[in-house]
Each structure stands twice: as C-alpha cells, then as structure tokens.
C-alpha cells in the first residue's frame, strides 16, 4: 500500500503510539535501510548480546542471502512505537520481529507486507498460531515460536495432600484438589490478576475455558469463570495478593514451596529447574474437561513496507532462513518457545519430555487478536482486566463487573 491513504493511516496510529510513550526518541533517516548490502533487522530480544546464538543465526542467514545483517534489539513496547514511526517516515527495517498482538496494529496502519506478496510459505505453520498474524483473510508474517500458560505444581505438596495431578481434568476436580491442599495446611494456587494485560492474559484460559467469547464479556459462561476466581479467594484457595501479582511475583510465591499450583508460562522453565522441590506441569483445564485454550505469546517475523521494493527478495530469503525447521528448533530452544510447526514440536518433545505438556498447551491455544478481532482486542482487554480487579476486590459481583466491562467495550 502506498500513497496518501497509507500515510494517513500511519500518521493516525503513530499519534497513538507517541501519546503512549511521551518523550520517546524518533527514528531518523540514518536508522533506515542502507542502499548497500546491509539489511536491518529489529527484534524484541535486547537480552541477547552480539556473541549470542540468536545473533549468530541472524548473521548466518545474512551470509546465506549474500548480505550483511545489522541487528538492533529493543524492548517490546519501544519496538512497537519505533516501528510505527519508522513506517511513517519511510525508513522501516528490512525485517521486523514483533510480539504477535502487534501484527494487527502494524497491518491496520499499512506498515507490513503480506506473506502472499513476498511468497513466504506458511503452509506448515499451525493454524491456531498463524491466526494471530492474520487480518481480513491476509497473513502478515511468519510465527517464529510460541509460549503459553499451564499449571505448575509442587509434587511433594500434592503427595502429602493425597492429590493425584492426573486426576485434575476440569474445574470441579481442580477445586477439589485445592480443598485437600488447604486441609493439609498448605496454600492452593497463585496467579496474576494485576490490572494490566498480564491480568487479562492469565484470566483468558479460564474465560475461554468456560466457553465464553471476547465479543460477549458478560455472558453466563464468562460470569462462571470470574466466579471461579472470586470463590477461590473467598474460600482461601488463592491469596489476596493475586490482585497485585505480576507473573513474576506469583512465580516467586510458588517458589517458596507453600503453594500447590501456579499458573505461569514456558518462560519459567529455567527457573523451575532451580526450585527446591520437584515439580510437574498440567494443562489448565476447561470447565467441562480437557485443556482450556490459553492465549499465545511469541513473535512473528515480518517484512515491512519499503519504498525500494527490490529489497523484498533478499528480505524474503532472510525470513525463510530464520523460520526453516532446523533454525526454528535452535531458536525456540534458546527462547524457551514451542515451535509453530508440528514436526519441530515433536522433535522438541522427544529431546525434552517435559515439553510435552507445553506442546499440547500450545496446540490448544489461540491468539488474543484472533477471530478477526485485530486492533479491537486492546479495547476489550482493558475492560476485562478491570472487571477482574473489581470482582476480586469485592467492589462488584462478577456479573456486575462483567456487565460494566461489556458496556465499556461496546462504547469504544
């Protein structure tokens, strides 16, 4: 997309981005793609230094494509705003790797090319993961990996309470397990219900697991999910601290050894190996049984719109290299991600049997911006986490909180 229409879209979205990060530095033309052999790659992995395996892979893909790769790692929020501003100014990087919910924002702004335009093959990608990068029937990038949520459990604590974790298959059996844990003098479950996207992220498996849809926040199914959480607090199965817990602080609570369960993600696997007690993982159960759909985290590799379209061919080679099966296996091991390709998922689970639960969870997961919600999702998520806060604090009943949330989401 070129011309005035695209520029107006970019300007409108960039204004929103600027207001969200007042004082953020704008990209200059010097940041944009060079005319020579150097191709710019922006990613959200500032934790990886130039001698990391990730940067080595980028350089290897550059060599294979016959170009030099210049990579910059940004904080996720900073990257989103820099990408929007760079698109507005016509100096986007050649390859952009962003958190999957951001794809819809950039696509709506006209900042990204489609996989069809650049002949990127996404046929092997799992459909539920690919959905986070789709809008109005078009795909705007290739998933590089995914993470999601499951329940970690303290094996020793459950044994002492007489709970078999394999018996937990639905909400009723989970609550029964929490009751046994409490009777044994220990604490049940910790999670993050903070009033941010983290809170919505952690509530969504229970919300979706009830059969609720994000287009109907006040449905009976949604009310049942929020009632589950509020009842846990009332019955002493979950601590009041969940209202302010981030995913990090809830993990720290679990690490004390006092909690039977913690809702958390694949990114805690390295920390789990350092726990002072044996642990296990099970899928978050749906209300009526089976694994609940949990939201997907993870990034997409995309090709931004360029004024010099001749660069696309090489950018396509870089993206194809980064997302081929062998490189996905290396990358997703480094990032603690589950691969977006079934065959690579099987290789991961074979190499580390502890990943089997996570592979199953990712296969049942769904994108937050899926169901063609796109940029509508943030307008839904904020009222949702506000409703969770209101109900858990006792300010409103679950029904009152979700009725207000739906009214707010509809008005936006």
Looking at 285, 309, 336, the residue that finishes a domain is: 336
* Residues 132 and 198 placed together within one structural domain of the fold: no
* Residues 291 and 304 placed together within one structural domain of the fold: no
* Residues 25 and 118 placed together within one structural domain of the fold: yes
Cα(341)–Cα(324) distance, integer angstroms = 9
* Residue at 354 is within a domain: no
Cα(319)–Cα(302) distance, integer angstroms = 7
* Residues 190 and 247 placed together within one structural domain of the fold: yes
* Residues 247 and 323 placed together within one structural domain of the fold: no
Would strands 68-73 and 279-282 be described as parallel, antiparallel, or unpaired? unpaired
* Residue at 362 is within a domain: no
Cα(4)–Cα(215) distance, integer angstroms = 33
Looking at 336, 359, 394, the residue that finishes a domain is: 336
* Residues 381 and 264 placed together within one structural domain of the fold: yes
Among 387, 77, 44, CA closest to 204 = 387
* Residues 43 and 120 placed together within one structural domain of the fold: yes
| SS3 letters across the chain | CCCHHHHHHHHHHHHHHHHHCCCCCCCCHHHCCCCCCEEEEEECCCCCCCCCHHHHHHHHHHHHHCCEEEEEECCHHHHHHHHHHHHHHCCCCCEEEEECCHHHHHHHCCCECCCCCCCCCCCCECHHHHHHHEECCEECCEECCEECEEEEEEHHHHHHHCCCHHHCCCHHHHHHHHHHHHHCCCEEEECCCCCCHHHHHHHHHHHHHCCCCCCCCCCHHHHHHHHHHHHHHHCCCCCHHHHCCCHHHHHHHHHCCCEEEEEEEHHHHHHHCCCCCCEEEECCECCCCCECCCECECEEEECECCCCHHHHHHHHHHHHHHCCHHHHHHHHHHHCCECCEHHHHHHHHHHCHHHHHHHHHHHHCECCCCCCCHHHHHHHHHHHHHHHHHHHHCCCCHHHHHHHHHHHHHHC
* Residues 258 and 384 placed together within one structural domain of the fold: yes
- For the chain, give the longest Cα–Cα distance: 69
Cα(72)–Cα(66) distance, integer angstroms = 19
CATH number where 177 lies: 3.40.190.10
Q: In the beta sheet, which residues pair with residue 41?
A: 71, 95
* Residue at 126 is within a domain: yes
* Residue at 358 is within a domain: no
* Residue at 84 is within a domain: yes
| Domain that residue 138 falls in | 4-143+299-336
* Residues 73 and 159 placed together within one structural domain of the fold: no
* Residue at 349 is within a domain: no
Q: Do residues 377 and 180 lie in contact, with contact meaning Cβ atoms separated by under 8 Å?
A: no
What is the full per-residue pLDDT of the chain (412 aa) written as tens digits?
444 454 445 544 443 333 333 233 333 333 444 445 799 999 999 999 999 999 999 999 999 999 999 999 998 889 999 999 999 999 999 999 999 999 999 999 999 999 999 999 999 999 999 999 999 899 999 999 999 999 999 999 999 999 999 999 999 999 999 999 999 999 999 999 999 999 999 999 999 999 999 999 999 999 999 999 999 999 999 999 999 999 999 999 999 999 999 999 999 999 999 999 999 999 999 999 999 999 999 999 999 999 999 999 999 999 999 999 999 998 898 888 999 999 999 999 999 999 999 999 999 999 999 888 989 999 999 999 999 999 999 999 999 999 999 999 999 8
Total structural domains within the chain: 2
* Residues 38 and 134 placed together within one structural domain of the fold: yes
The tokens describing 113, both together, are 């090319």
Locate tokens 């931004």: which residue?
A: 304
* Residues 70 and 22 placed together within one structural domain of the fold: yes
Q: What is the pLDDT of residue 4?
A: 42
Q: What is the pLDDT of residue 9?
A: 52
Q: In the beta sheet, which residues pair with residue 43?
A: 73
Query: What does the pLDDT look like over 183-226, one tens digit per residue?
Result: 999 999 999 999 999 999 999 999 999 999 999 999 999 999 99
* Residue at 345 is within a domain: no
* Residues 328 and 386 placed together within one structural domain of the fold: no
* Residue at 125 is within a domain: yes
Cα(6)–Cα(109) distance, integer angstroms = 7
- Phi first, then psi, for residue 314 (nearest 5°) are -75, -40
Q: In the beta sheet, which residues pair with residue 151?
A: 263, 282
Q: What is the pLDDT of residue 7?
A: 47
Looking at 336, 359, 389, the residue that finishes a domain is: 336
Q: What is the pLDDT of residue 102?
A: 92
């Amino acid at each position: 997309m070129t011309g005035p229409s695209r520029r107006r879209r970019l300007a409108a979205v960039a204004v929103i981005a600027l207001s969200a990060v007042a004082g953020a530095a704008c990209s200059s033309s010097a940041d944009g793609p060079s005319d020579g052999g150097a191709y710019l790659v922006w990613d959200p992995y500032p934790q990886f230094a130039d001698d990391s395996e990730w940067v080595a892979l980028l350089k290897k893909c550059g060599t294979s494509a016959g170009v030099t790769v210049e990579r910059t790692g940004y904080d996720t929020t900073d990257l989103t705003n820099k990408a929007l501003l760079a698109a507005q100014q016509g100096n986007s990087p050649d390859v952009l790797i962003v958190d999957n919910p951001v794809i819809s924002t950039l696509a709506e702004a006209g900042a990204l090319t489609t996989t069809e335009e650049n002949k990127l093959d996404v046929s092997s990608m799992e459909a539920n993961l690919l959905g986070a990068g789709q809008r109005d029937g078009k795909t705007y990038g290739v998933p590089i990996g995914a993470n999601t949520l499951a329940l970690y459990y303290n094996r020793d604590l459950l044994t002492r309470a007489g709970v078999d974790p394999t018996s937990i298959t639905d909400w009723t059996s989970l609550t029964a397990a929490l009751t046994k844990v409490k009777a044994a003098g220990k604490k049940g479950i910790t999670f993050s219900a903070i009033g941010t996207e983290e809170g919505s992220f952690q509530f969504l498996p229970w919300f979706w697991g009830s059969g609720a849809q994000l287009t109907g926040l006040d449905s009976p199914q949604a009310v049942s999910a929020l009632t589950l959480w509020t009842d846990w607090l009332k019955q002493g199965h979950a601590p009041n601290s969940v209202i302010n817990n981030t995913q990090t602080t809830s993990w720290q609570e679990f690490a004390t050894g006092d909690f039977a369960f913690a809702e958390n993600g694949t990114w805690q696997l390295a920390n789990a190996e350092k726990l002072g007690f044996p642990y296990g993982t099970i899928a978050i159960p749906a209300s009526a049984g089976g694994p609940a759909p949990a939201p997907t985290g993870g990034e997409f590799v995309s090709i931004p719109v360029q004024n010099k379209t001749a660069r696309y061919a090489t950018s396509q080679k870089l993206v194809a290299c980064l997302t081929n099966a062998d490189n996905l296996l290396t990358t997703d091991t480094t990032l603690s991600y589950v691969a977006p390709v079934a065959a690579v998922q099987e290789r991961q689970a074979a190499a580390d049997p502890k990943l089997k639960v996570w592979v199953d969870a990712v296969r049942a997961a769904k994108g937050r911006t899926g169901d063609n919600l796109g940029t509508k999702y943030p307008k839904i998520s904020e009222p949702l986490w506000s409703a969770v806060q209101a109900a858990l604090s006792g300010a409103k009943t679950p029904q009152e909180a979700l009725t207000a949330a739906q009214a707010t989401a509809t008005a936006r």
